Chain A
Amino acid sequence: EADIYQTPRYLVIGTGKKITLECSQTMGHDKMYWYQQDPGMELHLIHYSYGVNSTEKGDLSSESTVSRIRTEHFPLTLESARPSHTSQYLCASRTSGETQYFGPGTRLLVL
């Protein structure tokens, strides 16, 4: 079992608001990832990190930013939420071992 947490689990917010989605893991994993997924659709990688002070952009530009100041924490920030950001956001982590574990996800609705 993996110990990876995401908050909030559900968020309804108005257009133009700044939001931060939290992701934390207690396994000491160095690699962490953020994916965006519409219901029943494929996952799109939006950001990832190989360790502290390392961040990379993924395939999907979602007008978001991330930071990795601590190993266990990888927050995702949307500076100005738009209805097109409505989706599920999944955080994941792994070590140099093979298995990538996912958090429970945050479902975001932007009105």
Chain B
Amino acid sequence: AQKITQTQPGMFVQEKEAVTLDCTYDTSDQSYGLFWYKQPSSGEMIFLIYQGSYDEQNATEGRYSLNFQKARKSANLVISASQLGDSAMYFCSIRYSGNTPLVFGKGTRLSVIA
């Protein structure tokens, strides 16, 4: 079955440090898209970053970057210079080819410590 795996239920990071949240996926498709979302305690899902399977460069958006290793089928999120406001759940998701809906991982809860 095609799926997304986030192996870290919870992570702690010191304020101003960088942190990597792991995500691996399983697919035989050649064309797919990878997404990361942030969900604070208020419950809304906030889009962070996108990586297409054919993109050769790793995606970056401000303090967020995606470490995309296609051969290993991993798409780890790197948050640099962590801030207290980064404390939230983070979900990795994949869209396979065509119009298929996003498939989400179980999420990682990140806690930033002052």
Contacts and interface: CB of A to CB of B under 8 A. Distances in A.
Interface string A19-51: 000000000000101000000111101001010
- Residue with the highest number of chain A CB atoms closer than 10 Å, among B33, B42, B52, B101: B101
Interface stretch (A66-74, A75-83, A92-100): A92-100
Contact of A50 (B35, B99, B107): B99
B45 interface: yes
Contacts of A33: 101-102
Interface in B39-56: 42-47, 50, 52
Interface string B58-71: 00000000000000
A92 B106 contact: no
Interface in B62-103: 89, 91, 95, 99, 101-102
B43 A107 contact: yes
Contacts of A104: 42-44
Interface string B99-113: 101101111010000
Nearest to B102: A100
A102 B40 CA distance: 13
Nearest to A6: B44
Contacts of A31: 99
A102 B35 contact: no
Contacts of A90: 43, 45
Given A31-B99, A98-B52, A42 B45 contact: no
A98 B104 contact: no
Interface of B: 33, 35, 37, 42-47, 50, 52, 89, 91, 95, 99, 101-102, 104-107, 109
Given A42-B107, A99-B35, 19 more contacts: A31-B99, A33-B101, A40-B89, A42-B105, A42-B106, A43-B45, A43-B104, A90-B43, A92-B45, A98-B50, A99-B47, A100-B35, A100-B95, A101-B47, A102-B37, A102-B47, A103-B44, A105-B43, A105-B45
Interface of A: 31, 33, 40-43, 45, 48, 50, 58, 88, 90, 92, 98-105, 107
